[in-house]
Structure 1
Amino acid sequence: MAKRKVHRRARKILGEEPVALVWCEIHKPIPVPPKEVHRAAGKGRLKPGHHWLLYVGATVFFFVVVPMILIDKLGKKIDRMLGARQEPHRQTPGTRNNAGPQRSTRDRGSAGGRAAHPADGVFDGDWHLTAGQLLLRWYGHSPNPKRLVMLAHDRICVAASPRRRLSPTRADDFRSVAEFPLDAARTEGEAGQPRGFATFRIRFADGSWLQVGRLGEPEDADHFLRTVSA
């Protein structure tokens, strides 16, 4: 459960004790918007920032692991060539050729499926409405994917921490990045969802909606979902 200092910070922002709060994330990658829409919104980032250890790991992978894999494959290829000279009637290459078109067909089918669902369950799909505009600026407020959604008696507040890494139970440097009165937005969710898979939606008055998941601390998540489902 979020520590007292988190609630204290939330109370300072809202001017009252929050009815419910929970840390959450966009649980899927943000779809790629049309270029003109992205440009009009300031061409902000559409992906979260990564910790420096990730870049170190990627460097080690490309400069150490990849060369070792290539050397290993080269060695196996040389072994196969030598073996083919001794056994000229071996049919292994034909087997490899049969696998290629099958993978291509699956890839084309997957690509077609993604094209048919551009919003991918993240939002309603209209970039010009409230949810789409909020998504376009989602990571401009903070490179960290986590957002704190706070419910007050008269509004919904979305807050973010400027840090790349944070502890949902201890972070107390978050600031409000968007507020919506209850006649402009409402939250929708179901209580009792499996932990780790629970999601809820913020539905806006213009008909657009945004779905988030990866909810934070179990106690906060359960209380939040019970509140919005009541």
Structure 2
Amino acid sequence: MRSSVAPRPGLAGIEPIWLEWAALAGLLVFATWLLGGRGVWGLLLSSDPTGLTLVIIVVFVAATLWCGARSRELQQQRRWLEAARGGGATQGWAADYWAALERGPRDASAPLDLLLERTHGPHHTAWWVNGIQLKLGLLGKVIGFSILAIEIGQIQNFDASQSQELLRSLTTGLGVALLTTMVGLVGNILLGLQLTRLDRYADALVADAQSHGMSR
């Protein structure tokens, strides 16, 4: 006996973006534990007297957690869209967009602008935060080389007995310059991957909402 309930198309094919983020977060947690066990984190933090490395790490962790919450929200909106296309209850951003189209506002682009603001608006701030990581790394580079230049400029006479202390002072500035830049670049790349995935998912959500809205 065949079921009288028609399957809702698309529900099984929803991209699990939140699970993708959870898998990435698991890899990051494992990498954090592995690096911590090898003393890398202690070396990074102790080698940077400016504290910029710690600031970059905190910014990256906070932004990554936001990406997780955002991916879950986008996946829920996608689920509601697919349910509405299959004849289910209409709710979410896409439903509001379709309702605005049916009301026929004077500004024809207003419904789409509202949908784009909901799907992509918060991402602009996240991309700005992603750029902050890189800028903090470059700031650490400038500070590190400034320390290096100051130490070299203070050399009056070279004394072999002070060579060890001099090398320690010089390597401190060089370490700040290189470590902060490296941490900023790695954080920028990893967060950029997450934000690019969110943008593409949001693009597909908007495109399908428009496609269904025009066929209603």
TM-based fold match above 0.5: no
More strand by share: 1
Q: Relative contact order (C-alpha < 8 Å, sep 6+): which is higher?
A: 1
TM-score if structure 1 supplies the norm length?
0.23
Q: Higher helix proportion, which one? A: 2
The structure with the larger Rg is 2
- After TM superposition, the score normalised by the length of structure 2 is 0.24
